[in-house]
Homo-oligomer: A and B are copies of this chain.
Amino acid sequence: MAERLIVVGGDAAGMAAASQARRRRDRDDLSIVAFERGHFTSYSACGIPYWISGLVPERDQLIARDPATFREQFDIHVRLRHEVTGIDLERREVVARDLDGGGEVREGFDTLVYAAGAVPVKPAWARTGTQGVFGMQTLDDGAALRDWLESEPRPRRAVVIGGGYIGVEMAESLIQRGLTVDLVEQADQPMSTVDGDMAELVADAMKGIGIQIRTGLAVTGLEERDGRVAAVVTAEGPMPADVVVLGLGVRPNTALAEAAGLPLGPTGGVRTDRRMRVPGVPGVWAAGDCVETLHRVSGMPVHVPLGTHANKQGRVAGINIGGGYATFPGVIGTAVTKVCDLEVGRTGLRERDAVAAGFEFVSVVAESTNRAGYYPGARTMTVKLIAERPSGRLLGAQIVGWSEAAKRIDTLAVALWNGMTVDDMTALDLGYAPPYAPVWDPVLIAARKAVDALAGPGR
């Protein structure tokens, strides 16, 4: 009889694992069943804000592969709308509830991939069932929000709570749909994914398109009328709202894992080894937004829920389950986003992370342009580098710019990944032509500035 692989969670990580395992082992050797509580498999959660705004017109454009494709091309059986309710490691079986049919399914496994994803952080006041309040984690969440935005009475005033990536992207999407948008952030600035000096550039751009930013303010409750949200309650009084989007971050979805006895790490995510095995639990693997991983710069465990890591981790698990060898060596915190045409990229540690990790460092900010200054369309690009003192090793980098800026962070990410010093970086052979860079690339200009900062004022 074929070995039985069960995948808990049918999104990026789970389906990447299933596909890679199948690529190496045929159906006679390995049967694969995936349980997914939602309506969709393998979709781009990161694309949801663009579907909400209308920039991406059709929901199905966000779906990479549907269950029929998995069945026909990969012989992988996906059970949609089946929520796994228990994992029994002794009996080697999972129990799942059919959310539509209402029945219960039991399925045995030899090998299990736990890829249950993440769940949005919801304060108690957001869990009261008031209509018009949305987390934004799954395509089902996006579909519910879209329906709400198109319902009557038509929502006009949105409050977005939380100024991280999702909050900022959703605020822009809702502005583009014609709503008024207040963004409420507990800290003194939104976009704290970059340092304050860089975040300020982003906040200015947000205000520029009409997003009202309220900082240093916590939401403590909701007001409702006829079961529909009417306002969010803050220390400064109520803010009227016909729709509320939560952008308070997500946490690993580990309830099942915990109940089954899988080990969790200090970040709350499932622990894995480099091959994505759950340590001490033979035959069980985990991948995606539910796991914690190593930050290669700080050396500490982190929880970084991002589709690109989920895909890579799932691929690694699947290759190993398939009998190959692959490892996931951790992350360095690279992220890019677009806010009102402003491009933002970051990698490695922010200043506060570097302090927390115990590093001494210098940080420099260099302003330059994306193209040769004389070339039409040249726009400002601001590059920040954080380098260990005295070694000069790059610890982190951030870029904010108006055009062709965000993906330049990859150059810095690869330098960081390889442990380069800013001094080494000044010699890097980067592409130069007037349409793409000044003769001193913005990255090189910043590296030179960091070298000077390390040498001190006497230089």
Write the residues of chain A forming the contact surface with B, with a CB cutoff of 8 angstroms.
Answer: 12, 44, 46-47, 50, 55-56, 61-62, 64, 306-309, 311-312, 327-329, 331-338, 343, 345, 347, 372-376, 404, 406-411, 413-415, 417-418, 420, 426-437, 439-441, 443
Contact = CB atoms under 8 A, between A and B. Distances in A.
Contact of A436 (B307, B407, B436): B407
Nearest to A409: B431
Nearest to A440: B311
Nearest to A430: B410
A453 to B, nearest CB: 15
Contacts of A338: 433, 435-436
B333 A434 contact: no
Contacts of A328: 427
Contacts of A331: 429
Contacts of A440: 308, 311
A432 B307 contact: yes
- So how many copies of this chain end up in the complex? 2
A435 B428 CA distance: 27
Given A56-B376, A308-B429, 15 more contacts: A46-B372, A46-B439, A47-B374, A47-B434, A50-B434, A61-B374, A308-B439, A311-B439, A334-B432, A408-B410, A409-B431, A410-B441, A413-B430, A414-B418, A414-B428
A334 to B, nearest CB: 4
16 contacts: A46-B434, A50-B375, A307-B432, A307-B439, A308-B430, A308-B441, A309-B429, A329-B427, A334-B430, A406-B435, A406-B436, A410-B410, A410-B430, A414-B414, A414-B418, A417-B429
Given A50-B375, A418-B414, A406 B432 contact: no
A332 B343 CA distance: 29
